[in-house]
Structure 1
Amino acid sequence: MKNFLFPDVVPPSFMWVRPERGDMTNVHEWIQPIMSTSDPEKSKDADIVLVGVPLSRSSIRSSGASEFPEAFRRSWKSFTTYNLDEDIDLSEMMVLDAGDVPMHVTDIRKCHDTIIQASAALHHYFPTTKVCAIGGDHSITAMMVKGLHQAKPDEKIGILQFDTHFDLRDLSDNGPSNGTPMRNLIESGVVKGSDMYNIGLHGFFNTKELKMYADEKGVNYITLRNARKKGIEETVQRCLEKLAASVDTIYVTVDMDVLDIAYAPGVPASTPGGMTTDELLEGVLTAGLHPKVKAMDIVCLDPLRDSHVQGTVKLGTHVFLTFLSGVKLRRE
């Protein structure tokens, strides 16, 4: 069945059959496929609309991150809508699954153009709804932000990035890959370097040249060591406060490689010395609480590399639900 966003967004490859009545205590019973919405106008009141962006051909190294949107949806049955830590029930929110952005089999540039088009359509149709993109590799972030910029050209956009890497590689060498989204946004004039904040950099996984470029463009970055000294929550809050003083909209991007390899085996570029699960969830919850955070994504999670229990996939879903918890708490 086609939805009203077709052809910008198409039905996902996997959907749960939702019960027609009764209490919806599990996530797979609660999130509504947008195709089931009988009144498209009413859907504009949704709190969250999620969209799968199954692209990983643009990854620097071999990645099955394109498989995450389906694995993400399949994992919902393992989660309830009740957050014990915050004593809130997410089922009171309206969350819609828009489906997936259609991908070309071989043409990466066409895929990126399609993502921009889909993002613009989502932000145009859902002007006050938080749009959450489920990647896919990190190249999708530049395209989702460009689509947001197309839909709302008068709004100044800032980026809060959880990442082990700068993602500022040279486009002339790497193209629009998962190693270049932040540079792509800077050089395209969509986001200023001074309106980017990266939390989580650590260890031996970035070159000095990338740091020099970040300094030249005014990119703000907080190493994981320094973030831990100040506290993750306080660090994120300070970054959001500084961003909020200069931008209209904050886009949060969560590269799952920010996590230590011990916590995220299902990540192509996972490293030792990264964030713990608790640290990332604390940071994402803090971001979700901020009123200027209006969009986010989760990227670079490869279910094909994950353990047989799909622990990293479940963690990705936990990150998503934690962000939603922050969005709900900001209203309370």
Structure 2
Amino acid sequence: MSKIKLPSDRLWPRASALFKPNLKKADIALVGVPAHKSSISPTSAHLTPKAIREALAKYSSYAGSKDIDLRGVNFTDLGDITNPDGAEGKKRVNKKLAGVLDNYQTLVALGGDNSITFSVASALFPDLSRVGVVTLDAHHDLRDGMSNGSPVWRLIQAGLPGKNIVQIGISDFANSREYTQRALEQGIYIISRDQLRRQSMKDAMKEAFSVLNRRVDEIFVDLDVDVCDRSVVPACPASVPGGISADELRQAAFYAGANSKVRAVDITEIDVKKDSPDQRTIRLAALLVLEFAAGVASR
């Protein structure tokens, strides 16, 4: 099936045109990390980075409510990391991302499944002792082993202090008592989905950064899209009914970008083959890229 050609209007610049390939310096660098082989449930998440890039063409570069035009931000696209799964894939991630934050103010990593939270964060920050991690996720991701359910536990094992982790959106019936106990034993700060029914996302992000600011120098944010309600993210196999709204996750992405300590975010757990005909999940992911960029522009 041929793609529908989008209309051209010089007064309506498309967000996809913002990204220039392989610039040496930029405010925001984009990289695809199409990991999928260690996923607990079968997934085609390796196809998602390409789909997100294509969806960027559906949006403009202007955030009118904030009067932010992203044409004032320097973007680059570093392409995809080939075969990022497993031990050999981790080496390729390390090679691609080692020292990348010396040249780029921030990084957006497009998953891929949630295993990339470990591979990307550990590649960017070889010393995790002064790094903070904020997860927007329905799950703790503290499982044993190597899977998309274990990235936070693997980061802890690699030296990330549990007290440097804040988890937002943890859902009932999506985690076991045992892994919840593990989170508490490690000192992880939890803002549950239930708490978000009484607290705005702006306040939740403010609380998360307040917890971390005294302890860390740099912050990594995991935007696991399955934190959203299943009706709005049909391409997220592990999402649950009653998750947060698409708008709340967009807000989280903006506030992540606005915090000067945040150096990188990932966008994970989308299986493009399972998306609805209107591509609502992929389109949300593209908006997360733009919301984060608007936050960076507001610094």
In 1, distance between residues paired with 2:150 and 2:192? 19
Shift of 1:286: 1.6
**Do the aligned residues in 1 keep the contact of 2:56 with 2:287 (CA within 8 Å)?**
no
State the Cα distance separating 1:155 from its structure 2 match.
Answer: 7.1
How do 1:1-332 residues align onto structure 2 when only pairs under 5 Å count?
A: 25-34=13-22, 37=23, 43-44=24-25, 46-103=26-83, 108-124=86-102, 126=103, 128-150=104-126, 153=127, 156-171=130-145, 176-189=146-159, 191-330=160-299
Shift of 1:85: 2.2
In structure 2, distance between residues paired with 1:24 and 1:47:
22
* Whole-Å separation in 2 of the counterparts to 1:228 and 1:250: 25
Q: Number of aligned pairs?
A: 292
Q: Provide, for residues 148-192 of structure 1, a one-character-per-residue CA deviation record: whole Å limited to 9, x for no partner.
A: 123xx4871100100000000012xxxx21000000000121x11
TM superposition shift of 1:110: 1.1
1:284-314 superposed Cα distances (whole Å, 9 cap, x missing partner): 2122111111111101111100012211100
Output the CA distance in 1 between the equivalents of 2:99 and 2:242.
Answer: 39
Q: 1:249 to 1:155 in 2, by over 3 A?
A: farther
The residue matched to 1:200 in structure 2 has which SS?
strand
Within 1, Cα distance between the matches of 2:61 and 2:137?
27
Counterparts of 2:117 and 2:128, CA distance in 1: 20
Are the aligned partners of 1:199 and 1:222 in contact in 2 as well (CA < 8 Å)?
yes
Q: Is the 8 A contact 2:27 2:75 kept in 1?
A: yes
Alpha-carbon distance between aligned partners in 2 of 1:79 and 1:129, rounded to the nearest angstrom: 23
Verify the 8 A CA contact 2:101 2:263 in the aligned structure 1: no
SS of corresponding position for 1:86: coil
Partner of 2:3: none
SS for the counterpart of 1:230 is coil
Q: Which amino acid aligns with 1:143?
A: S
**Aligned AA (1:68):** T
Q: Deviations over 1:6-59 (max 9, x none)?
A: xxxxxxxxxxxxx9xx7771112221122xx5xxxxx32x11001000111110
Structure 1: any 5+ residue segments left out of the alignment? 1-18, 38-42
State the identity as a percent: 33
**Counterpart secondary structure, 1:229:** coil
Q: Which runs of 5+ in 2 are unaligned?
A: 1-7
SS at match of 1:97: strand
Higher mean alpha-carbon deviation, 46-55 vs 82-91, is at 82-91
TM-score normalized by the length of structure 2: 0.93
Gap change, CA 1:147 and 1:24, over 3 Å in 2: farther
Are the equivalent residues in 2 in contact too, given 1:149–1:155 (CA < 8 A)? no
User: How far apart are the structure 2 equivalents of 1:245 and 1:60?
Assistant: 35
> Aligned partner of 2:97: which letter?
S
TM-score by length of 1: 0.84
